[in-house]
Amino acid sequence: MDKLKFYIDGGWVEPAAPATLGVLNPATEEIFARISLGSAADVDRAARAARRAFATYSETSRQERLAYLHRIIDGFRARLPELARLMTLEMGSPITFSTERQATVALFHLEEAARVLADYPFEQRMGPGIVRREPIGVCGLITPWNWPLNQVASKVAPALATGCTVVLKPSEVAPLSSMLFAEIVHEAGLPPGVFNLVNGDGPTVGEAIASHPEIDLVSFTGSTGAGIRVAKLAADTVKRVAQELGGKSANLILDDADIRKAVIEGVHACYTNAGQNCQSPTRMLIPRAHRQAAFDAAREAVQAVRLGDPLDPGTTMGPLVSQSQFDKVQALIQSGIDEGATLVAGGMGRPRQEPGYYVQPTVFGDVTPQMRIAREEIFGPVLSIISYDTDEEAIAIANDTPFGLAGFVQSGDPQRARAVARRIRAGRVYFNGAPFDRSLPFGGYKQSGNGREFGVFGFEEYLEVKALLGWRD
């Protein structure tokens, strides 16, 4: 499964300098494929190809771009099972989840970009002039390993829909699904240079993208620390920066909610994608009077988790992505024990004798807001239950974080829930287990980033605004 070439200027090309990296299957701890690691020279070649292509692609009609998108969508649907299997192999997502969520949600973003493009008003009359929206230019897209195709599609789809050209760097940890996606894009017949892919690591290829003078926008999803580095590098060329960074989302279960149901749903939401999910509700806030009921419900939820081979359709939780991620999660579980939290379920160590970076689904109770497990993004299946006495205290705890990506509110009273949600400083708030929606904006407050993805808001991240004055009909 070696994929040693890059996709640049309409074809598969050799890297400027030979350097390879093994792709690890986290369920077996074995290397099963290799990719090439790119360099600044590869980024330069891709960025210049994208710049040349932008001159004509930016002038294509709405109908031409819709035709390209629909061909990509058709190719994606045809190869969805293959895409799902690659994500299972490269980052450990259970095959059922990879198929029904990982790959399917990525397809949603392609479909949503086509829906928005179909009738988007690129020119609008405003007072004495016209406001026109035009493609921003060459876009550098840097995506993470935890939702490999979801984040690729949520960036590539609106970029192509608006008339921009692209240089994509997928995560070197989980690159193979993106390589197959590049094949799908190629088969859709986009003009050479419109879509380019260069594999590599963040300090080399990612930083070259962020600083390249031919790139007009960089869209980055990843850690807050890496996002700060990207923003600093981008500042020298005053390029636009859109970022979706870390999270430490609070799940406020109010005293009029069905406590057992809300806790069970909250545990499973926290464990989505083995907890490797930026908006996971990892802080569960429960009324102090319902402490024991919450602990009992959490144990019940953990017992329903099925750890196992991610290629087994019955598995609901696979391994973490790497040894380093496993070690980080173990250290944070130990910190929760050391700082005096009550271990409700799970704990240290591996739950299986077989290979794989599996961790025990873990729940801590009696967590205080200053504990490490309540403040740091763990990126593993570890839930912190924090007790509160009043709604005001719960809102204060929810907002006591440098992050602000998402929030969750559970209540039997919709008006009360809405009043609480308005006061949560986060970019997206879910009521009573509401499902994912591809059309509504996604993005963060505070150190969870800036800019928005999904739907019309994600579409407009790739557009410049121009005023035409003195216009006469």
Intra-chain end-to-end CA distance of the chain, in Å: 59
Cβ 29 vs Cβ 355: under 8 Å: yes
Give the tokens for residue 241. Answer: 């920066």
Give the distance, in angstroms, between the CA of residue 82 and the centroid of all CA atoms in the same chain. 21
Q: Is 278 an annotated catalytic residue?
A: yes
Beta bridge partners of 408: 251, 430
Q: What are phi and psi of 162, to 5 degrees?
A: -85, -10
3-state helix, strand, coil in the chain (%, to 5): 40, 20, 35
Phi-psi sector, 217: left (phi>0), alpha (psi -120 to 50), beta = beta
Phi-psi sector, 92: left (phi>0), alpha (psi -120 to 50), beta = left
The Cβ of residue 327 has, within 10 Å, a number of other Cβ atoms equal to: 12
CA-derived radius of gyration, the chain:
23
The helix/strand/coil state of 371 is coil
Helix (H) or strand (E) holding 225: helix 224-235
The Cβ of residue 370 has, within 10 Å, a number of other Cβ atoms equal to: 9
Dihedral of CA 353/355/361/367: which sign? positive
From the list 8, 18, 20, the residue with the least C-alpha distance to 198 is: 8
Give the tokens for residue 97. Answer: 């989840």
Cβ 86 vs Cβ 303: under 8 Å: no
Cβ 319 vs Cβ 92: under 8 Å: yes
Catalytic residue among 112, 207, 214, 244: 244
Work out the angle between the directed axes of helices 148-162 and 62-78 (0-180°, nearest 10). 160
Catalytic residue among 207, 270, 278, 461: 278
Instruction: Supply the DSSP symbol for 376.
Output: S
Beta bridge partners of 220: 142, 243
In single-letter form, the type of residue at position 178 comes to S
Cβ 215 vs Cβ 44: under 8 Å: no
Phi-psi sector, 350: left (phi>0), alpha (psi -120 to 50), beta = beta
Query: Which residues are tagged catalytic?
Result: 244, 278
